[in-house]
């Protein structure tokens, strides 16, 4: 029974890692409740030092993957915000340091002769 709980915990962390690597964040969210239950189950058990280390290492690895995913999402959000700002106009500074917005044209090409 003891070994089965440990094995289930490792399988769950492996499943979470696969979901993180594949970018399936909805699946990661679904696994959260199962992780909470397993942590509660494991806290009542006496794991060997090796088992505890394996669980900790696997959970730490997943935490790093999750942080990388969140960092990527923040970067994408910042980029989208910047692109939206460019669509409305371009912010420039004049010789006095005052900020001005140059309105965006209709998107047509200007042809100079």
pLDDT of residue 58: 96
Q: pLDDT at position 60, please? A: 97
Burial of 38 (0-12, 13-18, 19+ CB in 10 A): buried
Closest residue by Cα to residue 17 from 58, 56, 69, 72: 58
Does any domain span residue 82? yes
24 part of a folded domain? yes
Structure tokens given for 109? 């090409």
pLDDT in the model for residue 108: 63
Do 7 and 38 contact (CB within 8 A), yes or no?
no
Is 109 within a domain? no
pLDDT in tens, the chain (113 residues): 578 888 999 999 999 999 999 999 999 999 999 989 888 888 888 888 999 999 999 999 999 999 999 999 999 999 999 888 777 777 888 889 898 887 766 666 666 77
> What are the φ/ψ torsions at residue 59 (nearest 5 degrees)?
-65, -40
Range of the domain at 7: 2-103
The pLDDT assigned to 110 comes to 67
């Amino acid at each position: 029974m003891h070994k089965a709980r440990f094995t289930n915990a490792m399988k769950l962390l492996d499943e979470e890692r696969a979901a993180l690597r594949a970018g399936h964040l909805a699946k990661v969210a679904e696994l959260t409740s199962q992780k909470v239950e397993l942590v509660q189950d494991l806290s009542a058990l006496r794991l060997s030092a090796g088992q505890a280390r394996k669980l900790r290492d696997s959970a730490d690895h997943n935490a790093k993957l999750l942080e990388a995913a969140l960092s990527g999402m923040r970067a994408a959000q910042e980029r989208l915000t910047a692109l939206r700002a460019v669509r409305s106009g371009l912010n420039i500074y004049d010789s006095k340091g005052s900020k001005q917005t140059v309105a965006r044209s209709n998107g047509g090409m200007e042809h100079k002769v």
